[in-house]
Amino acid sequence: MITIKDIAKVAGVSHSTVSRSLNDSNQISEKTKNKIKKIAEEMGFEFNLNARSLNTQKTNTLGIIVPEFFGDIRIEVFFGKMLGYLLREIEKEGYTSRIEYAKNSLDKKSNIQKMIQSRRIDGLIIIHENILEDEFEFLSEKDFPVIFLHHKPELFFDKNINYIGTDNYKGGYMATEYLINKGHEKIATLTWDCLGIEQAERTNGYIAALNSNGIKVNEKIIFKTDLSFEENYNIIEKNIDIFKEVTAVFAQTDLSALAVIEALKNNGISVPKDVSVIGYDDIEFGKFFKPYLTTIHQPIEEIVKESVKTLIDIIMTKKNKSIKKVFEPYLVERDTVIEI
């Protein structure tokens, strides 16, 4: 199948220039638009063969469905960073954005169905794993261009969907194995108790790394908490005797890791001298406070770019592709882990 990327290569222009030209954006000269449309037609690009290049019903707007906790900076700075990348990438491609929660806060009706029925968007990016069955059936029936970004839709992941995200299992395994290779065996972890697949995969990676290295899993040092700095801090305070016995902590978000470090410090436990700490996400805050946080980096920018480009390709070709692409995280070594 011919894609926008193929046309861009032949035309010697960027992917976004091709996208804007095929959408008749006023940011591109008529000469360039005509050249690109001719190349696309000669290459058999389906957007042109189906006579959609001048479709006046296109809105050049992409919808974004975000979780209800998106507005609470205490909970997770990571998602704010992701949303920033997403808005910029959509703008680069010549589109505008419309952001909604999954449910209307007043009448509790589905904003997913509302956005599509309004005909004000060309495609939809869903950053939410708990959409309902009737919403999924609605999407399938309409055959509307949709990408699930970052969050796996828990109930429908085995269905015909487009998903782009990060390998959380590998990230959890990588973080734990790194601590093990530094000589640590008593490794506690702080995971979430409410959001399902993402943290379950990180915890499964943690458990698998322990098992692979012959270390018995101790359920008493797997702590389930919420997303807030305060709750993670309080977990350490309430269980300080346990944390005096462990040699390392795998905190499954950076915000959690920063709370762990602060709580340990306030209880006379030095990081990394007494307890090593590794986080997950690689948010900016980890670079600002000493000791600088060792963490697992999620390639947010890459998954956002791939998601936007894939969604636009689906919009242009009118073919949902059932793409499931997972990017690998990687380790960022800083100062909060030492060898023992």
Q: pLDDT digits over 260-277, tens only?
A: 999 999 999 999 999 999
Q: pLDDT digits over 186-219, tens only?
A: 999 999 876 568 889 999 999 999 999 999 999 9
Residue range 294-315: mean pLDDT, rounded? 96
The three-class DSSP label of residue 178 is helix
CATH 3.20.10.10 fits 61-165+300-327, yes or no: no
Closest among 170, 179, 251, 247 to 213, alpha carbons compared? 179
Whole-prediction pTM = 0.81
Closest among 9, 35, 5, 30 to 19, alpha carbons compared? 5
CATH 2.40.40.20 fits 168-298, yes or no: no
Instruction: Enumerate the CATH 3.40.50.2300 domain ranges in the chain, comma separated.
Output: 61-165+300-327, 168-298
pLDDT-based confidence at 76, cuts 50/70/90?
A: low
pLDDT exceeds cutoff 90 at 104: no
pLDDT exceeds cutoff 70 at 74: no
How far from chain centre, in Å, is Cα 87? Answer: 14
